[in-house]
Structure 1
Amino acid sequence: MSTSTWTSAVWTTEEFRAELCAFVSAALGVPERVEVVGVRPWSAVWRVTARGRSSYAKQNCPGQAHEARLMARLAHLVPEHIVPVLAADAERDLLLTADLGPTVHELGEATDPGTWVRIAVDAAVMQRKLVGPASGLGLTVLPPGDAVTYVADAVGRLAALPADDPRRLAPEVAVLLEARLPVVAAWGELVEDLELPLTLLHNDLHAENVVRAGDGSLRCFDLGDAVVGDPLAGLYVPLAMAQHVLGLPPAAPALRRIADAALEVWSDLADPVDLRAALPAALQLGRLARVESWRRCVATMTSEERAEFGSAPAVRLASLLDPTPLGDAAALG
């Protein structure tokens, strides 16, 4: 089955189910049960039971079809940070991972700010370990110095779509974003001046994508959205989700505590004062990683799926006009 057919149109077919069962059988034995956990335009997940053992199988849409290869690589580089990989077929982007039980969210731990501190710190520690290998992970690279070019290109591309295209960026928003380009350039320069190395950004790191292993360590999963970029940009999703889950206003002390704990991991490479000063700008650049992953997903959606999700890249792009979880970065420009 070619990568062009890896979409929601085939994930519910008998042909694909047979292919999936063959993949599982080769790794674990013939499955007794294969249950659909979720089929979305960007990926599908199944809970598999084979020889009394529970695991999860996954495949992504073509734009995100790097996860199996990435997870196999991370299993060698940072096995202590991710869920155990039982099998990975990079050519077909079929992934099989161990079931470690409820997520941190399901355990009710996401209401504790300390949980978010640990999620952010663990992610930063993993990023430090991946600084060297990051260039060989085969992911989209979003360096801070290219931010203004990325935004300008995205605005031009999305604003030029027909008026009835759900992906279109509204003209009035395009005008505001174009006026914001000098500020975006300043954000990129401020972050670039820290001279932090590029590394892996999970790009969807929150309490529903983290589980607790038997030894108490936290393990992340769901890396289909991953990119390579400035490490501080990787704090955007966990800080935004912590703000939402904890019901906090921007720049709340608990959010600063989470951020400061993660910044400490990089404090030997840049002055902590400079890291804190640049963080709001870095968080804005983190929004671009979300634009990119949605762009990859929307590319192969059906017209019906685009009607529901097609606006996501434009919405994420427009969020550059909003304050970050740590306050407004616009003043930095």
Structure 2
Amino acid sequence: MTTARVDLVALWTSAAWRAEAEDWIRDQLGAAGIVVTGAIEQPRVRPWSTQLVVPTDRGRYWFKENNPAMAFEAALVARLSDLIPGRVLDPVAVAADRGWLLVPDGGRTVRETGGADEASFTRILTEYAELQRQLAGHGAELVGTGLPALEPERTADHVAGQVAELAALPAGHPLHARADLLARAAGYRPVLVAAADRLAETPIPSSLQHNDLHQNNAFAAEPGHPLQFFDFGDAVWGHPFCVLHVTLVVLAQEWSCDEWSVTGADPRLDRLVDAYLECWSDLAPLAELRRLVEPALVIGRLHRYNSWHRLLPYLPKDMLESHVGYLSSLLCGSVSSTR
């Protein structure tokens, strides 16, 4: 891991980058017979991505560039649009080598339509499960886009490698792994191994784990149409049930309730988990599927950490410092209310 920070915010706010991006956008839209009708705006710049909004004679279009660790999203979305038509926005253009993605506006998100209730999240989870079922068996081609693969049986060794990288960071780095973290991570390894072993006992096919599935990352659908999902920059290929981690954390925050636990949870969370699992109940009895949720959440926390770890060269020091506790909790299994 490089310790020199790459300032992508400075790059993405530079005149040279902006001119190059806008020229590409105009060329791609023009080739599709679409006319830009006004000034292109940049509503969001973050260390992990930036977006441009483009007014045209056919409505708004969105351009996105991710940081290099998540640049695969552009090629992934292009492949998904072929494999699961109508479930993601169809790109107008992709520059896979740059991580550039140009798509039409998807309308309002589920959150923007007021969807934070049980029915809305039931729909998000069950429709995403349908998508996962469709994509199972397409791992090689999706991983071929650059999508990280993080199967349960690889997790313990993968995390050990990441902890070693943290230990190799300079002593003054906010995430330098000191002896206490190394000891906690070593103590947590048997938990990861046990979770992977438990998941392996029931043959559920690997699929696309969105890794940030909630109401802000699904477009509301017109009657008779399915939801469309977006923002796949955190995604991994792995056990599908790991997708529940972020959704359940978000719901605990939205509903001001405790996070889901096998020893007892808000009944609404239990119903949502069961609704998701029902989509897999042709593969195993529901009671058996329920026993997979806890180990899937253990692995899912490490999927979430993986996204942050890949971002480390691009995050400013103050952001790293503010996330030290959260990131160490993901690595070592502590419960945290921050997703």
**How high is the TM-score relative to the length of structure 1?**
0.88
Aligned to 2:234: 225
**Alpha-carbon shift at residue 316 of structure 1 (Å):** 3.1
User: Of the candidates 224, 246, 252, which is equivalent to residue 243 of structure 1?
Assistant: 252
Aligned to 1:177: 185
Aligned to 1:132: 137
Q: CA RMSD in A?
A: 2.3
Letter in 1 for 2:317: R
Aligned to 1:322: 334
**Alpha-carbon shift at residue 107 of structure 1 (Å):** 1.9
Kept in 2: contact 1:55–1:99 (CA 8 A): yes
Letter in 2 for 1:163: A
Q: In structure 2, how many angstroms separate the alpha carbons of the residues matched to 1:6 and 1:218?
A: 35
Q: In structure 2, how many angstroms separate the alpha carbons of the residues matched to 1:311 and 1:186?
A: 31
Cα distance, 1:118–1:65 mapped onto 2, change above 3 Å: same
**Alpha-carbon shift at residue 95 of structure 1 (Å):** 0.8
Q: Please state whether the residue corresponding to 2:111 is helix, strand or coil.
A: coil
Aligned to 1:155: 163
Q: 5+ residue gaps in structure 1?
A: 326-333
1:103 matched to 2:109 = yes
Q: In structure 2, how many angstroms separate the alpha carbons of the residues matched to 1:8 and 1:269?
A: 46
Q: 5+ residue gaps in structure 2?
A: 260-264
**Alpha-carbon shift at residue 310 of structure 1 (Å):** 6.3
**Alpha-carbon shift at residue 268 of structure 1 (Å):** 1.5
1:121 matched to 2:126 = yes
**Alpha-carbon shift at residue 61 of structure 1 (Å):** 0.6
**Alpha-carbon shift at residue 70 of structure 1 (Å):** 0.6
Letter in 1 for 2:283: L
**Alpha-carbon shift at residue 58 of structure 1 (Å):** 0.3
**Alpha-carbon shift at residue 140 of structure 1 (Å):** 1.0
Letter in 2 for 1:90: A
Name the count of aligned residue pairs.
318
1:87 matched to 2:93 = yes
Letter in 1 for 2:64: K
Q: In structure 1, how many angstroms separate the alpha carbons of the residues matched to 2:203 and 2:115?
A: 35
**Alpha-carbon shift at residue 163 of structure 1 (Å):** 3.0
Q: In structure 2, how many angstroms separate the alpha carbons of the residues matched to 1:192 and 1:53?
A: 47
Aligned to 1:329: none
Q: Please state whether the residue corresponding to 1:146 is helix, strand or coil.
A: helix
Letter in 1 for 2:46: R
**Alpha-carbon shift at residue 314 of structure 1 (Å):** 7.1
Q: Please state whether the residue corresponding to 2:300 is helix, strand or coil.
A: helix
Kept in 2: contact 1:168–1:314 (CA 8 A): no
**How high is the TM-score relative to the length of structure 2?**
0.87
Q: Deviations over 1:205-257 (max 9, x none)?
A: 11111111334531111111111010111111111111211112232111111
Aligned to 1:308: 319
Q: In terms of mean alpha carbon deviation, does 119-128 or 24-33 score higher?
A: 24-33
Question: Percent of aligned positions with the same letter in both sequences?
Answer: 35
Q: In structure 1, how many angstroms separate the alpha carbons of the residues matched to 2:85 and 2:8?
A: 29
